[in-house]
Structures are given as structure tokens and as C-alpha cells.
Amino acid sequence: MSKVIYYILSKSFYLLLIFYIMLTLNFLLPRMMPGDPTSRYVAEGMSLEEREELIKIFGLDESLYTQYIRYIINVFKGDMGISFLYYPSRVWNVIIERLPWTVLLLGTSIGLSMIVGVILGSYSAWNYGKKFDSIVTMGSLVLRTVPSFWLGMIFLLVFGYYLRLFPLSGSITVGVRMGVFERILDIIKHLMLPVFTLMAYLIAGNIYLVRASLLDVLPEQYIVTAKAKGLKNRTILYKHGLRSGIIPVITWFTLQFGYIVSGAVLIETVFSFPGTGKLIYDAALARDYPLLQGAFLILTATVLIAMFILDLIYAILDPRIKKD
């Protein structure tokens, strides 16, 4: 028992160390970019004196050391500060406005593609060498190599622009009064094209993984025994095959969550979807240090939590795994 606790503690320490390193990098990296947060106002005609005043307002006129200390303290207070790009909105508010959309987009995509991927991959492995397998494998190859943003553009062109079935952008229709049910449908309508685009890539990855790991597992003895026992194919497939084969898929699945906050920036750009991916991109271009720091913080935390959960799952699922 203490071995497990030791394992969890050492992993936690390791993760905390990484977290601290990332925090510091988080602070330094944005400040190392050329230019400053007031650069974007030069083209609007802000004079040097006015920009210097703005720098003071942003709190950037103090020494780097002072800023760093204040940053670390604020992280532990949970205060992410005020955004430069969206001044005077607080960073937390800016992020929290967009985070649900990204979670919705990626959650739906990852979830649906998990289901479809596992089903298709399983049947594909089962029918190895047959027509079904070839079609699925080829199909998933194509889906995996098509650039996702281009696929999005094609979907948009065909289904949004020519066929007018789906809206061209955004997450909702703005400025129109709608009932709750209608609003839900409206959101789903706006979600569908981005989700399908994302799913294309994710499904391909899932199919490949499930199929490959099942192909490793299926020929093994205990499967043969199960078949000899006369169990239904489906039971063998799911109960026995997937149980071992699911591990790489779960790894992949959990790691995907790390990408949730930032991963969909390409899709968000194509569909003008108000998510956090595009937010990070805009914040980087605008040198919005607090917003970048806040977003990266959430991102890093999400990823580290995902890694931690992953290790826990390993520990639970397979006590045979060496802990070194």
C-alpha cells in the first residue's frame, strides 16, 4: 500500500516541479518577444508619451524581478490580473467567456470520435485483410493526412456557402431572440461543421490505434480459448480484446484533453469560432502578457492533470507496470 502512496507522491512532486518550471517560462517567454503591448497602437497614432503612460498603466514599468514576484504571488492567490488586449476586463473573465465553447467543441469531437473510432477500429481489426478493413484503413489514412483547416474550408464552402445548410461562422446567431430549445438547436447547428472537421482527424487516429493494438492482442491464446468456448464474437472483441487494447487509446484520449484549450485554433480561425485557441493566438500577437500567462496556466494545469490521471489509471489498471 505504501508503495502506491510513494508512487503517487513522487509523481506529484515531479509534476509540481514541472509546473513551477512552466510557470517561470510562462512569465519569461512572452516578455522575450520583440515589441511590447503598446506596439499595436502605433498604427492608430499613439505617440511615444501616450504609450509610455499606457505601459505604466499595465504595470510594466517596474523591474522584471518585481513583476516576477508579483506574478508568482498572484498565481497562488488565483489572481490572473487584467488583460491588455481587452483592458479593463479581467483575464479570468476573458478566458471563461470562451472556455465553454472550446470545451464544447473539443469535448463533443473527442467524445464522438472516440465512440466511432473504437467501433470502426474494432470491427476493422476483427475483419483484418477483408474488404471492410481495407476501406476503413484507406479512409482513415486519407482523413489523417488531409489538412484539417483545409477540410474545414471545403466543408464551409460546400455546406455553408453553396448549400446554405449551415451558418458560415460563429457559435450562435447573435442579436435574435430565441427560446431555450431553439437556442440549443442554433448552437448545435453552428457546432456541426467544426465538429465534423475536427472529428475527421481524431477518428482516423483512434481507428489506427484501436486497430493496431487489437491486432497485437487478438491472436493471443486466451482469445483463441474464448472463441473455442463458443462466446459471441462481439463479446470477445469488446470484453477481452479491448480490455487490454484500450490502454493506448486511453492514453491518447487523456492526452487529447491537454490539447483542449489551445488545440483547435486552426478550426476556430476557419470558422471564426470564439474559443480559447484563437484567444491564445490573438494574445500572442498583441503581446498581452497577463492573458497569455493566464491561458498558459490553465493549459499547463489541464495537461498536467491529464498526465497525472493517466498515471493513476495505469497504476490502477495494471499493477504490473514497473514504477521507476
Partner 1 sequence: MIDISTVKHTLIDIKKFIETFIRRKKGFIGFIIIMFFILTAILAEYIAPYDPYKITGIPYSPPDSNHILGTNDLGQDIFSETIYGARISLFIGFIAGLSSTILATIIGIIAGYYEGIISRILTGLMDMFLVVPGIPLIILLAVYLGPGIWNIITVITILSWAPAARVIKGHALSIKNRPFIEATKALGASNMRILAKHILPNVLPIIFANSILRIVDAILLEAAISFLGLGDPRTKSWGTMLYFAQQRGAFSTGAWWWILPPGICISITAIGFSLIAFTLDEIFNPRLESISWR
Partner 2 sequence: MPGLNKVYIKGSLKDSVVKNLRNFTLLLVVILLVLIIMPSSSVVAQEEKTVKYAYAADINTLNPFYWTTVADLDLLRIIYDTPFRIGPDGMLHPGLVESYEFKNSTYIVFRLVRNATWHDGVPVTADDLKFTLEFVRDHTLPYLGSVGEALNIIEKIDNYTVGVKLKYPFSPLPLVMADIFLVTPKHIWEKITNPQQFANPNPVGSGPFKFVERKTGEYILLEKNTKYFKGAPKVDKLLLKIIPSLDSQVLALKSGELDMIEIQPGPIVRDLMSTPNVSVMTAPSTYIYYVDFNLRRYPMNIRDFRKAIAYAIDKQQILNILLLGMGRVADSLIVPSLPLWYNPNVTKYNYDPKKAKEILDNLGFKDIDNDGFREFPNGTKFVLNMPTANVDIWPRLTELVANMLEAIGLKVKITPVEPGTLIDILLNKWDFDINVFGWRLYFDPDAYIYESFHSSRIRKGGLNWSGYSNSTVDKLLDDQRKAVNIEERKQLLFRVQELLADDLPWIPLVYPDMIFAVRTDTFKGWVAIPRYGLRNVYSWINLRPAIEVITTPVYITPSPILTQTTTQIATATPVSGIPLEIMASIIIIVIAVAIIVLIMRRR
Sites for partner 2 among residues 269-308 (CB under 8 A): 271-272, 274, 285-287
Closer of 145 and 221 to partner 2 (Cβ): 221
Contact between residue 169 and residue 270 where contact means Cβ atoms under 8 Å apart: no
**Residue 162 binding: pick among partner 2, partner 1, none (C-beta 5-8 Å cut-off by kind):** partner 1
Can you tell me the distance from the alpha carbon of 88 to that of 212, in angstroms, rounded to the nearest whole number?
51
Cell 493496431 locates to 212
309 binding partner 1? (CB under 8 A): no
60 binds partner 2 (CB under 8 A): no
| Long-range contact set of residues 305-310: C-beta below 8 Å, sequence gap at least 24 | 306/254, 306/255, 306/257, 306/258, 307/15, 307/254, 307/255, 307/258, 308/11, 308/12, 308/15, 309/254, 310/250, 310/251, 310/254, 310/255
Helix intervals (H) in the chain:
2-32, 48-57, 64-77, 91-126, 131-145, 148-155, 180-217, 221-228, 233-235, 242-259, 265-271, 276-286, 289-317
If binding is defined by CB under 8 A, does position 219 make contact with partner 1?
A: yes
Q: Which residues contact 136 (CB under 8 A, 6 or more apart)?
A: 120, 121, 123, 124, 207, 211
Calpha distance 213→319 (Å, rounded): 20
16 binds, among partner 2, partner 1, none (CB under 5 to 8 A by kind): none
Tell whether residue 269 is a contact of partner 1 (CB under 8 A). Answer: yes
Dihedral sign, Cα of residue 179, residue 184, residue 189, residue 193:
positive
232 scored as a contact of partner 2 (CB under 8 A): yes
Grid coordinates given for 99:
472556455
Least spacing, CB of residue 2 vs partner 2, in Å: 31
Cβ count near 274 (within 10 Å): 18
User: Is residue 17 part of the contact set for partner 2 (CB under 8 A)?
Assistant: no
What, of partner 2, partner 1, none, does residue 220 touch, CB below 5 to 8 Å by kind? none
157, interface contact from partner 2, partner 1, none, CB < 5-8 Å by kind: partner 1
The piece of 4-12, 71-79, 100-108, 297-305 that touches partner 2 (CB under 8 A) is: 100-108
Contacting residue, 77, 131, 229, 322, with partner 2 by CB under 8 A: 229
Q: Is 262 in the site for partner 1 (CB under 8 A)?
A: yes
- The entry of partner 1, partner 2, none that residue 57 binds, CB within 5 to 8 Å by partner kind: partner 2
- In the complex with partner 1, the residue whose CB is nearer, 164 or 177, is 164
Answer for which of 6, 20, 150, 222 binds partner 1 (CB under 8 A) is 150
- DSSP type of residue 273: -
Residues 120-159 that bind partner 2 (CB under 8 A): none
Considering only the stretches 47-55, 70-78, 108-116, 260-268, report the one whose residues sit in contact with partner 1 under the rule CB under 8 A: 260-268
Q: CB under 8 Å, gap of 24 or more: what pairs does 17-23 form?
A: 18/304, 19/300, 19/301, 19/304, 22/296, 22/300, 23/72, 23/75, 23/297, 23/300
Confirm or reject binding of residue 175 to partner 1 (CB under 8 A): no
Eight-state DSSP code of residue 63: -
Q: Is 6 in the site for partner 1 (CB under 8 A)?
A: no
CB 316 to partner 1: min, Å: 20
Which residues contact partner 1 by CB under 8 A? 18, 29-30, 32-34, 128-129, 141-142, 144-147, 149-151, 153-154, 156-157, 161-162, 215, 218-219, 224, 227, 255, 258-259, 261-263, 265-266, 269-270, 277, 280-281, 284-285, 295-296, 299-300, 303-304, 307
